[in-house]
Amino acid sequence: MFSSKNDKWTTPQQFFDKLDKTIGFTLDPCATEASAKCDTFYTEEEDGLTKDWAGYRAFVNPPYGRKIGSWVKKSYEESLKGDTVVALLIPARTDTKYWHEYCMRAACIYFVKGRLKFGDSKNAAPFPSAVIIFNGSSMGMPFLGVMDAK
């Protein structure tokens, strides 16, 4: 589960539900049939990086491998379209190029207190997480409060 051979980290349902209650997600652009959090979703084969997210409230928990920067960039760019909100759940890697180029432009950044347990893992992730909210249309996102891993 925690090896670099697998870059997919299934979002804990309880954690997603807390975010969804506030944001009301309508799109999961990087999902599998089993992990999809929204009725509208794209699988790896459909490639959410090539799709239009305009008008959606997207929840993005991208693969955490080499393409993560592409997902962060896409999330930021899509949020600039009217009535589009994107929330990213990513490792809190504040030293990366994508963090400085895109995450620092976010409407909100929430660092997760504690470590998330992804999928059906019994162990917490070996890295801290953050929720990045891109809201380029200034829809006035409410304060989400403390993002707790539990």
Instruction: Output the domain CATH number for residue 51.
Output: 3.40.50.150
Q: Looking at 63-67, 76-80, 137-141, which range is the least confident one?
A: 137-141
Residue 45, CA distances (Å) to 21, 42, 60, 72, 143 in order? 29, 8, 16, 19, 35
* Residue 1 covered by a domain: no
Describe the strand order of the beta sheet including 129-134 as a list of residue ranges. Answer: 57-60, 85-91, 129-134, 108-111
Domain extent, residue 49, equals 13-134
- Token pair, residue 133, equals 């909210």
Instruction: Give me 126's structure tokens.
Output: 């070996």
Quote the mean pLDDT of the chain: 85
Look at residue 64 and tell me if it is in a domain: yes
Report in angstroms the alpha-carbon separations of 26 from 10, 75, 136, 147: 18, 14, 17, 21
Three-class DSSP category at 92: coil
Q: Identify the helix (H) or strand (E) that includes residue 73.
A: helix 68-79
Is the pLDDT confidence value at 5 over 50?
Answer: no
In a domain, 142, yes or no: no
Higher pLDDT, 148 or 21: 21
The count of structural domains within the chain is: 1
86: phi then psi, degrees, rounded to nearest 5: -130, 130
- Domain membership flag for residue 140: no
Q: Residue 146 falls within a domain, yes or no?
A: no
- Confidence (pTM): 0.83
User: How much is the pLDDT for 49?
Assistant: 97
Q: Is the pLDDT of residue 57 over 50?
A: yes
Which residues on adjacent β-strands are paired with residue 90?
130
Please name every residue paired with 108 in a beta bridge, in sequence order, or none if there are none.
Answer: 133
The H-or-E segment that residue 19 falls in is helix 13-23
Identify whether 81 is part of a domain.
yes
Q: What is the pLDDT of residues 70-114, one digit of tens each?
A: 999 999 999 999 899 999 999 999 999 999 999 999 999 999 988
- Please tell me the predicted confidence (pLDDT) of residue 3: 42
Domain assignment of residue 8, yes or no: no
Question: Residues 132, 75: contact at Cβ < 8 Å?
Answer: yes
Query: Quick one: pLDDT at residue 8?
Result: 60
* Residue 93 in domain: yes
